[in-house]
Every structure is written in C-alpha cells, then in structure tokens.
Amino acid sequence: MKTKTLKDFDVKGKRVIVRVDFNVPHKGEVITDDNRIMAALPTINDLTGRGAKVILLSHLGKIKTEEDKAKNDMSIVARRLAEVQPAPVVFVNATRGEELENAVRDMAEGTIVLMQNTRYEPGETKNDPELGAYWASLGDLFVEDAFGSVHRAHASTVGIPTHLPHCAGFLVQKELEVLGGALNEPKRPFVAILGGAKVSDKIGVIENLLKIADKVLIGGGMAYTFQAAEGKKIGNSLLEADKEDLAREFMEKGAGKLYLPTDTVIANDFDAPTDIRTVKAGEIPDGYMGLDIGEETIAEFKKALEGAKTVFWNGPMGVFEKPEFAKGTIEVCKALAELDDAVTIIGGGDSASAAKNLGYAEKFSHISTGGGASLEFMEGKNLPGVAVLED
C-alpha cells in the first residue's frame, strides 16, 4: 500500500494535527510505562524542528463514566511530554470550543498543543462526521502516527483525514513497512509463534499465517483447546470447547507446519500451587492445569527456529507473570534474540512486555506498538485508519 509521508510536505508555519497513541498505563498521576510517548517523538520532533504548529490528539483509557474521565485525564501525558522533548507544550483541558480554538490560534511555530482525551467526546468512537469535520477545521494537515488505533474507525483516525491532506507519521510508516514485509515478502524460512490464552483471539491470524508461514508454533493457554480437540486429557486447563472443531480444522490445514507442545508444566492450583510438575501434553490429570510449555517443547521450538530468517511472535507461552511458569516465554524470547541475520518482530501486547522486562527488547528488529492493530494487520484485514491514508 502506498501512503504519503512527512517528507512529502513542507510544514513550516502549518497547523499539523497528529493522531498519536498516548494511551499509556498509569496509576493515578504516575505513568508506569512511557514507551508510547517515546515512540511518537521522532514524528513530533521532526515537525516542531521544521517549524510546524503541532496539535496532538489521543485517547487514554476507556471512557464510560465521569469517574473514567477523572481517571484518564490527559494532563499527566502533557507533563511527561514536556520533559522528554524540547518544544513548549500547552495542554488544553477541552476537546472543542473557544479555549481549544484560541490555543490553536495563538500557537507559535515549533510549539505543541495537546488536547484533552478524544474519548471525552461520545462521537469519537462512533466516527461522528460533525466531530471529525470540527477537529479537521483546526488544522492544515493530518498525520496518522497512532498505529495502535488504526484498526478503529473513529473520528480522530478516519473522520479528520477525509477533510484534510494527510500522510503517515514515522511510526506508522515503519509499522507498515516491517509488518507488510513479513506478510507480503518474508525472507524464508518464516516462522510464526502464537501464544496467549484463547484460540478465539487469534483465529484470523492462525488462519492467515498457516497460508503464509513455513512453520507456526502454538503455545500458551490456547494449546489446550488443540489438545482437547485431539481427544487428550487437559485436566482443569483453559478450554474453549466451542473452538475444538476449528482447532481440528487448523491441525488438518497445518499438517507438517503446525507445531504444538509435547509436554506441559502443570500445577494443582493457580494462585497457591503446592504441586508443580511436568507431564506429557494431553496427559494432565484432573485437578491440575497446564500453565507453561515444558523443557521438551522448549527444545523442539528452538530447533524449529534454527535458520529462520523472519519470525513473528505474539503471545506468551505460559503464565509468564508468575516466575514458576515463565520459563517457556523466557526461553523463546532468548532464542529469538539470539537468531543471526533474521528479521524478528514482536506483535505488541504481552510478548512486548516480556521482551522489555527480560532486557531483550533491543535485540529484536521491531516491536510493534499496535497490539490489536498488529494482529488484524497480520490477519490481512483492511485497517480503516490506514485505508484512509492510501494514495
């Protein structure tokens, strides 16, 4: 897909609306992870450095009640943004009206206005045409740099660019290039590793990657639905009974390329286990649940990764938040980090957290900021916020 980029525009003196993803985790007024803010800086710094008047729009959290509004006030982001880049930042505690319009009118070149949470507006998530047109009236150019939101047809992602010249920011541009390369022209062998709790969360991704990848490795909670589909014993492990037929279908389609765990680490209780052991996959006794892949599976997955030239990883191999069940995720992460001459991509979410927490983030070619958007892209879906940018 072809989209214009920042390099295609002279932005000096222009009012540039940038949709960023500042949906950062926070406790009260303390941001616990500012990665999304840092990821937006290349685009923001380029624009302010070239004399643009930069108007930033983002959502923060889910807004259903007045309590949600108070909890997800964008002012905490404004403070952090002012600390991590040199341009002056003005926070406007409004999403429309005179205060916002005056702040935009009074902007000097190379400065930033950060607007209040876009989801304070009920019309944001409904892509209200009037709201999209109003926000567009504040600017001269629209830049999409929130890859984590491009799978949503919202007023700030789809509504605004229908009224203004538009382009992709550096972050979105990189995501499209890296993920698009893996999807359309992967260096082979191409190995996909999919984990996480549910088959239902990854149906489209599994389906699409079974067509494209040379190997698809399945771990995490969803592996037990595949084992149940084979008539094996999974004890009290996570199961989506209504997805067993689908799992059987995937196993038939993926014969020879779909890899499932051959052993599993089990425990007699999730919160306070007193008995943890490893058993063969499909031999989990009643009263026990599978919570990680075992040593044998780790070795097999590592062997399957040997010589890989492209790897896409999304989803942990077990309950990696608990040290007793983190080994599978740690070992897979380590194996990917040590691959030579390979394009290694993490599709956001828990896998990204694992890589960062384990200190391997710098070893990966690309860690997507998208999460849900990355998965939908890898499914081959049309992302509304990207489609509207296409030339």
Question: Which residue among the candidates 51, 123, 181, 372 is catalytic per the annotation?
Answer: 372
Q: Who contacts 272 (Cβ-Cβ below 8 Å, separation ≥6)?
A: none
Strand partners, 113: 55, 90
Active site residue 28: no
246 and 210 Cβ atoms separated by less than 8 Å: no
Cα 187 → chain centroid? 22
CA distances in angstroms from 190 to 184, 187, 316, 342, listed in the order given? 11, 7, 19, 10
Torsion, Cα 49 50 55 61, to 10 degrees, reads: -50
Distance CA 94, CA 112 (A): 15
In the DSSP assignment, the letter for residue 323 is G
Active site residue 195: no
Distance CA 259, CA 220 (A): 12
Strand partners, 31: 26
Question: Which residue among the candidates 349, 370, 371, 385 is catalytic per the annotation?
Answer: 349
Active site residue 280: no
Q: Please state whether beta strands 215-218 and 258-259 pair in parallel, antiparallel, or not at all (unpaired).
A: parallel
Q: Which of 148, 192, 168, 131 is nearest to 18 (CA)?
A: 168
Q: Which of 245, 248, 182, 224 is nearest to 317 (CA)?
A: 224
Active site residue 282: no
Q: Which of 318, 306, 308 is nearest to 351 (CA)?
A: 318
22 and 40 Cβ atoms separated by less than 8 Å: yes
Question: Which residue among the candidates 36, 80, 215, 243 is catalytic per the annotation?
Answer: 36
Q: DSSP letters of 228-292?
A: HHTT-EETT----GGGHHHHHHHHHHTTTTEE--SEEEEES-SSS-S-EEEEETTEEPTT-EEEE
Catalytic residue IDs: 36, 198, 349, 372
